[in-house]
Every structure is written in C-alpha cells, then in structure tokens.
Amino acid sequence: MRRRFDTATVIVAVPFLAFVGLFLFVPTIGLAIKAFTPGGSFGFSAMQRALEGTYRTAFINSLALAATSAILGGVIGLLLALSLRSLRRPKWLRSTTDSWSAVAAQLGGIPLAFAFIAAIGTQGIITKLLNQIGFDITDSGFSLSEFWGLVVVYLYFQIPLMFLVMMPAVGGLKNTWSEAASIMGASSGRYWRSVALPLLVPSFLGGLLLLFVNSFAAYATAYVLNPGAQLVPLQIRFLLQGNVITGEQDLAYAIVLWTISLLLASLLLIAILQRRTAKWASA
C-alpha cells in the first residue's frame, strides 16, 4: 500500500514539477545568465547599474510602499482577527467577514483601481459627497496617484489577506492557557505579553512578509493609478517593452533578477516562520 501511494504521489507531482521547472526555474536561470553576462562577457556591471540612479529610486519607493502597506495592513488585520476571535453575536458578522476577506484578498489589478477612482478619485462619488459638506480631499493633498493614495488602495487587499493569515493562529490560542495563567495569578496583560503574543509573533511576521511580497510585486493597480510612478514593477515593464537604448537590454534582466532575489528571500523567511508556527500549533 505504501509503495502504491508513493507511486501515485510521484505521478501527480511530476507534471507539477515539470510545469514549475519549465516556466519558473529555466527562465530564472536564463535570466541570471543574461544579467551576469552583459555584452557577452561575465561581469557585475548590469547588476550594479540596476541599483543606481532612477532604478535605485524605484527600489526605494517600492520598498517603502510595500513596507508601509504591509505594516498597516498587518496590524489592522491582526486586530480584526483578535476582535472576532471570541465573537458570538451577531453570528452573521463572522461569516460575512470571512467571505469578504476571501474575496477582497484576491481582488486587485485594474478592477480595484477603477473602483477606487470611481469612489475617491477626483470625480469620485465619495469625493463629491465630501465636497458638498465642505471637505475637499484634493485640496488636503490626497491623491490616488501619490504614495499614500497607493497605500490606501493596497490596504483593501492587504487587510483581508492578513486577517486570513492570522485567524488560524489566533484561533489556536486555547482558553485553557488564559485560565491557567489566571489561576497562577497572572493578569490579562501579563498573559498576552508572556504567552499569547510570543506565540503569535511567528505567524504575524510571516504574514507581514507575505503582505510585503504581495505589495512589492503588485503591478496593474499601480500602473492604472499612476503609469509614471517610480516603482520596480513599472520600471521592469518599461525596460522589457524595449524602451532602452542599444546595449542597455541587460539592465532589464538585472532589475528582474534583483527583484526575484528579494522575493525569494522573503518567501524563504516565510517558510521558516511557518514551520516554527506549526510546531507550537501541533503541541
């Protein structure tokens, strides 16, 4: 029976591994070769230039946008999960939040951008309603095409994603732990500082990294709201479309390779944190 199971597993896994190898590993290897062989000879010039000038600005802006939306979305998502952990009434609120989160976490790209334009854009419905009561968000400096405008849009899918990530971890906090802490004379604050929060930290950090990757790689939403934004995904699009002078094509491969390296490092940390979380969850 074990041999049959192993054979079936291999049969199922081979097509998937072949797909991943063909469309992920092989292109990545080819990309690395081109990035490290600018002009046909081995060198680091392209990788170095990818972190200079406007491209360095794009990386800084993308890192700031990803970190800000990840931290805000992570904290709000965690608080939302904690607030609904012990919710009993109304019963519909928990199921509605779960359903909304599952949908909103996957909503992005062009539809999300146009939804926010229609809501709080220059001629948006909410913008006009606020104008009628004497508040002009445009005069206040808010714009969907600017940094904080992008953060607000990104939070729409960042918060529900963090909520989905943290709900299993928050739900894993056993009531017997708090009861035992209370019997031993620990206050509620001491229980959260010494027991609950340390157990939630690996899941929380893993969620932050997931949100960071999710935001850093977002392309379509940012492109619709601000096609000229100095962000890495938009720079990659600009270069891969051939908008470079002769001899600069290697620069595009170098920027993509730096991006892949950053995302892979984040995914590796996520995997490590998930393994640590699984240990105490199964205890």
| Sequence spans of domains, the chain | 36-281
Residue 84: per-residue pLDDT: 83
pLDDT tens, position by position, 151-189: 999 999 999 999 999 988 888 777 777 778 788 877 777
Q: Is the pLDDT of residue 243 over 60?
A: no
Mean pLDDT on 30-42? 83
* Least confidently predicted of 218-227, 254-263, 274-283: 274-283
Residue 242: per-residue pLDDT: 64
Mean pLDDT on 86-95? 74
Quick one: pLDDT band at residue 1, thresholds 50, 70, 90? Answer: very low
Taking the C-alpha atoms of residue 103 and residue 123, their distance in angstroms, rounded to an integer, is 26
Structure tokens at 256: 């993509």
For the CA atoms of 175, 177, 178, 181, what is the dihedral angle to 10 degrees?
A: 160
Residue (of 227, 254, 230, 226) closest to 240 by Cα position: 254
Residue (of 214, 195, 198, 193) closest to 270 by Cα position: 214
Residue 273: per-residue pLDDT: 78
Q: 109-120 vs 125-132: helix axis angle to the nearest 10?
A: 20
Of 125 and 20, which is predicted with more confidence?
125
pLDDT tens, position by position, 48-59: 888 888 889 999
Whether 236 and 252 have beta carbons less than 8 Å apart is answered as yes
* Side-chain half-sphere exposure of 226, counting CA atoms within 13 A: 20
The CATH number of 36-281 is: 1.10.3720.10
Taking the C-alpha atoms of residue 152 and residue 219, their distance in angstroms, rounded to an integer, is 15
Q: Is the pLDDT of residue 5 over 90?
A: no
Give Cβ neighbours of residue 191 (< 8 Å, ≥ 6 apart): 177, 178, 181, 182
Taking the C-alpha atoms of residue 258 and residue 260, their distance in angstroms, rounded to an integer, is 6
Q: Is the pLDDT of residue 281 over 60?
A: no
